Amino acid sequence: MRILQIVPSISLIYGGPSQMVLGLSAALARSGVAVTILTTNSNGDTGQKPLDVPLNVRVEQDGYQIIYFRCAPFRRYKFSVDLLTWLNRHAQEFDLAHIHALFSPVSSAAATVCRWQKLPYILRPLGTLDPADLRKKKQLKQLYAAVWERSNLAGASAVHFTSFQEAKISERFGVATRDLVIPLGVQQQKERQEDEESLGRRRFGMPADVPVVLFMSRIDPKKGLDLLIPALEKLLTIGLNFHFVLAGTNPQDPKYEEKIQSQIQSSLLRSHTTITGFVTGELKTVLLKAADLFVLPSYYENFGIAVAEAMAAGIPVLVSDQVHICQEIRDSESGWVSQLDVAEITDLLRLALQNPSERQRRGALAQQYALKHYSWDAIAHQTIQAYNQILS
């Protein structure tokens, strides 16, 4: 089976939704699928240098191939004429294309090329069909959908959603689509050791004797920091001691990131917070090992890859009921689920922080659930079944 994965960028700066393509491709390759990723060298939208990678050649990695193309023109939108030209010439060499992102010009154009070349394709919208997301730049998106995405949805062999809730609420612009619900996978973490937890705390200057609350995601208005920060401040005013870690960045909106950092620096949280910026690799692992509770009170979240990563690390999670794997978290008792309400978030944070044995119990259940449902090999198995059904 010869599969194309097409994604605007796989730079770490764009976070989990882009990076998951690498994990999926490696798992598919382990199962005998021939995978080629088409992507650009985009590495941020506010003047960052592009990725330092060879262009227009096949790069071997973890059993699959990547071909990077230069962003040009419209670098801000991760567009690449070279990628589309290559796809138009080579589409017939593949059995299926899996296209990641809607409302992204290079992905939209790639779907159009696939239709021209009669190459079956799957679309993964990355939450962009959520009504809350569609309200942002509403008129522009309505026009974009009319010109491009409605036809792309109509021509797709399937639409890949990462949760049943995402599939349920997503807009289809009047098009009947075949839905695939396949969650994202995460790297499995080995069981945390006490010395590793202590090392992580020392490395980031965190106190050793208080629980650590970790937010690790993009610093974006949709992530609910305007709810979380007041909740944490309230806990300090009633004498509850903890340490908060804010890990993440926002290459598309650095001003919002600066606003959040300034808000923390001018509040009670200042002496109880570590701001790390963007973390990956070993630093990310160290933070996960040091955390006692993971928080993500998003206004909407089609999956929440960071939540699944925390669960895999054995950390109980506190999420809003708009994170679309919230029902799985409830059912598996992997953490706590709150409405979008500061008072309720405060109450659940207090409950979690005051009950270390319950945190430990729920963290263990979270890890068990993640091992079973979010391992990349399990995800690859589901994905290959879906590919075979479409091709048959």
> What pLDDT, on the 0 to 100 scale, is given for residue 328?
95
Confidence (pTM): 0.86
392 residues of the chain, pLDDT tens digit each = 999 999 999 987 777 777 789 999 999 999 999 999 999 998 876 667 888 999 999 999 999 999 999 988 766 678 999 999 999 999 999 999 999 999 999 999 999 999 999 999 999 999 899 998 999 889 999 999 998 999 999 999 999 999 999 999 999 999 999 999 999 998 776 555 556 667 767 777 788 889 999 999 999 999 999 999 999 999 999 999 999 999 998 877 889 999 999 999 999 999 999 999 988 888 888 899 899 999 999 999 988 889 999 999 999 999 999 999 999 999 999 999 999 999 999 999 999 999 999 999 999 999 999 999 999 999 999 999 999 999 99
> What pLDDT, on the 0 to 100 scale, is given for residue 337?
98
Closest CA to 366 of 278, 302, 300, 293: 293
The answer to whether 59 and 66 are in contact (CB under 8 A) is yes
Spell out the residues 6+ positions from residue 259 whose beta carbon is closer than 8 angstroms to its own.
none
Q: How far is the C-alpha of 31 from the C-alpha of 232, rounded, in Å? A: 45
Secondary structure (DSSP) of 144-175: HIIIIIHHHHHH-SEEEESSHHHHHH---TT-
* DSSP code for 215: E
> What pLDDT, on the 0 to 100 scale, is given for residue 240?
95
> What pLDDT, on the 0 to 100 scale, is given for residue 45?
67
Q: How far is the C-alpha of 287 from the C-alpha of 245, rounded, in Å? A: 9
> What pLDDT, on the 0 to 100 scale, is given for residue 195?
61
> What pLDDT, on the 0 to 100 scale, is given for residue 350?
98
> What pLDDT, on the 0 to 100 scale, is given for residue 311?
96
In 64-104, alpha helices (H): 81-90
> If DSSP codes are grouped into helix, strand and coil, which group holds residue 225?
helix
Spell out the residues 6+ positions from residue 364 whose beta carbon is closer than 8 angstroms to its own.
314
Instruction: List beta partners, residue 288.
Output: none
- Catalogue the E-assigned strands of the chain: 2-6, 34-40, 58-61, 64-69, 96-100, 121-124, 158-161, 179-181, 212-216, 243-247, 273-277, 293-296, 317-320, 335-338
Spell out the residues 6+ positions from residue 61 whose beta carbon is closer than 8 angstroms to its own.
22
Domains and CATH numbers, the chain: 2-185+375-391 (3.40.50.2000), 194-373 (3.40.50.2000)
Tell which phi-psi region holds residue 40, choosing left (phi > 0), alpha (psi between -120 and 50) or beta: beta
